[in-house]
């Protein structure tokens, strides 16, 4: 357990949330298709070497995988649950489950995709178990975000009007994401926040690439409708 006890304290904060706005508002076009994904590198062999080392009896090798992916897995969990403490716990749970099931990993696939699937599953399980508490947790979490030190819009710092405007944008984006069905929220998190290809999202979610594209298109349409007034003339 000690190898995952210090997960990276990064987060998907206001900067990332505000950065989604032009993507979401401009993404819905003609036939709903995205531009083609750029070529992706081959499966990451260094990951496989570390996996083999763990399976062969060196559990400390897992630390390298934790250090490589802890921030990204935290962000995946946070994108789904939008609570810092919950995301931290879920990221740790994902690594623990991955460690316990490492012998089941198939070397023909990407380790990160496999790990991301685990993180998504633990996040979805959490959401389903916490539906009664979710609204209050969401309100508490966004109300304290400016105290975390994650914001970096220095050129507007000290301008109360712009600070309020940014916070309103941030709150609207999170509230809009909250309205999406789980499967649509998943593809938005994986595509727009994690930058995964359709193939990678397909592997994570276990659905055809065409379904990924369809869910992303309809998710963007819903978000576009919810956020259109923020775009301005």
> Could you read off the pLDDT of 56-87 as tens digits, one per residue?
999 999 999 999 999 999 999 998 888 889 99
> Which value, in Å, is the radius of gyration of the alpha carbons in the chain?
18
Interatomic CA distance for residues 193 and 173, integer angstroms = 13
- Structure tokens, 154: 């220095």
Domains of the chain: 8-231 (1.10.1740.10)
Q: Any idea of the CA torsion for 27, 31, 32, 33, to the nearest 10 degrees?
A: -90
Q: How high is the mean pLDDT of the chain? A: 74
What does the pLDDT read at residue 99?
Answer: 96
Q: Provide the residue count of the chain.
A: 233
Q: Kindly report the pTM of this predicted structure.
A: 0.63
| Residue 167: pLDDT over 50 | yes
For 30, phi then psi, to 5°, come to 10, -95
Q: Using alpha carbons, select from 134, 107, 133, 153 the residue that is nearest to residue 14.
A: 153
pLDDT category, 133, cuts 50, 70, 90? low
Q: How many CB atoms lie within 10 A of CB 149?
A: 8
The single-letter DSSP state of residue 194 is T
- Structure tokens, 220: 């963007």
65 neighbors 105 (Cβ within 8 angstroms): no
| Residue 143: pLDDT over 80 | no
Interatomic CA distance for residues 141 and 154, integer angstroms = 22
| Residue 41: pLDDT over 70 | no
Q: Provide the angle, in degrees to the nearest 10, between the axes of the packed helices 131-143 and 160-179.
A: 160
Interatomic CA distance for residues 157 and 201, integer angstroms = 37
- Structure tokens, 53: 């080392």
Interatomic CA distance for residues 198 and 33, integer angstroms = 12
188 neighbors 177 (Cβ within 8 angstroms): yes
**Half-sphere exposure of residue 184, counting CA atoms within 13 Å on the CB side?**
16
pLDDT category, 176, cuts 50, 70, 90? confident
116-131 confidence digits (pLDDT tens): 999 999 999 998 887 6
Q: Using alpha carbons, select from 133, 5, 111, 121 the residue that is nearest to residue 55.
A: 111
Average pLDDT over residues 213-217: 93
123 neighbors 205 (Cβ within 8 angstroms): no
The single-letter DSSP state of residue 207 is S
């Amino acid at each position: 357990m000690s190898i995952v006890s210090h997960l990276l304290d990064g987060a998907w904060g206001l900067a990332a949330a505000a950065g989604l706005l032009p993507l979401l508002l401009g993404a819905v076009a003609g036939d709903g298709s995205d531009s083609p994904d750029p070529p992706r590198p081959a499966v990451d062999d260094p990951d496989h070497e570390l996996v083999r080392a763990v399976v062969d009896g060196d559990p400390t090798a897992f630390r390298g995988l934790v250090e490589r992916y802890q921030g990204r897995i935290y962000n995946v969990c946070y994108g789904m649950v939008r609570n810092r403490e919950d995301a931290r716990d879920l990221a740790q749970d994902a690594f623990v489950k991955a460690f316990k099931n490492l012998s089941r990993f198939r070397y023909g696939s990407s380790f990160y995709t496999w790990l991301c699937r685990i993180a998504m599953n633990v996040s979805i399980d959490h959401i389903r178990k916490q539906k009664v508490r979710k609204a209050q947790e969401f309100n508490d979490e966004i109300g304290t975000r400016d105290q975390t030190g994650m914001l970096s819009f220095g050129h507007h710092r000290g301008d109360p009007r712009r600070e309020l405007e940014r916070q309103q944008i941030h709150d609207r984006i999170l509230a809009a994401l909250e309205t999406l069905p789980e499967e649509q929220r998943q593809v938005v998190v994986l595509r727009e926040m994690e930058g995964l290809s359709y193939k990678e999202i397909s592997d994570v979610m276990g659905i055809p690439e065409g379904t990924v594209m369809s869910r992303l298109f309809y998710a963007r349409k819903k978000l576009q409708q919810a956020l259109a007034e923020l775009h301005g003339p």
